[in-house]
Structure 1
Amino acid sequence: MDTQRITGTARHVGGKLRRVAGDAGRDAYDTAATRAEEAYEEAFDLGSRALRRARGGALRLADDALENGQALYGRGVGALSRQAGNHPLLLVAAAAFTGAAIAWLAVGSQRR
């Protein structure tokens, strides 16, 4: 009878040890999976923040380039207008020369 009790107790303790070992393995797996998931979410958040910063920086650069381009265009038109006002005959001669060059190129390309 003592042998049966010892054997039964040993089996009972062995079963408990197996359950504890299984739970420990499962806990270790769950912990590793949780850590991996947390690392993924952190990396995703960092990537999202970097993308938002890069997009914002690109938009600011594009806005600055547009403003600078408009300012330079305005200055160029102003300078051209002043030159045309100071030398109107030169402007008419340049327009005539440009028209003659375009006509010469158009006629020359039709003859070929």
Structure 2
Amino acid sequence: MNSDRITGAARQFGGRLRNVAGQATNDVGLRAEGVIEEALGRGQNLVGQARDGARHLADDALDAGHDYYDRSVRALAQQTRAHPLAVVVAAGLTGAALAWLFSSSRRR
């Protein structure tokens, strides 16, 4: 829970109290202030809920990313254990390709 939700709930409650006080005293101005304050509080509370939802969504995405990374590392390690020669050849070819790319760009 963040400060927007707490502040919004407090504003909403305060607006409700003003509205009730305005109804009890037949003060239209106080009732209007109460309705406005209650609406602003409700809006601020909704902003807080949206922020909390976005934070939870980001946390879930981060957890999923960590999970996918861990699974891919395990799969790569398994393939490396199963085919060590293929990994050495692939690494050598990748190094040769990078060396060729960097050396050809210097000649120009």
Asked whether the two chains share a fold, i.e. TM above 0.5, the reply is yes
Q: Distance in 2 between matches of 1:51 and 1:101?
A: 52
CA displacement 1:13-43 (0-9 Å, x = unmatched):
xxxxxxxxxxxxxxxxx93322221121111
Identity value in percent: 48
2:27 pairs, out of 25, 31, 50, with 31
Q: Distance in 1 between matches of 2:56 and 2:45?
A: 16
Q: Which residue of 1 aligns with 2:59?
A: 63
Q: Distance in 1 between matches of 2:107 and 2:38?
A: 71
Runs (4+) off by over 2 Å? 30-33
2:76 pairs, out of 73, 77, 80, with 80
Structure 1 residue 91: deviation in Å?
0.3
For 1:104, the aligned partner's letter is W
For the aligned residues, what is the CA RMSD? 1.3
Q: Which residue of 1 aligns with 2:45?
A: 49
User: Is structure 2 residue 82 aligned with structure 1 residue 91?
Assistant: no
Q: Distance in 2 between matches of 1:103 and 1:32?
A: 80
| Structure 1: unaligned runs, 5 residues or longer | 1-29
Q: TM-score, structure 1 length as denominator?
A: 0.70
2:99 pairs, out of 93, 100, 103, with 103
- Larger RCO: 1 or 2 (CA < 8 Å, sep 6+): 2
Q: TM-score, structure 2 length as denominator?
A: 0.72
Q: Which residue of 2 aligns with 1:19?
A: none
Structure 1 residue 101: deviation in Å?
0.6
| Matched pairs, number | 83
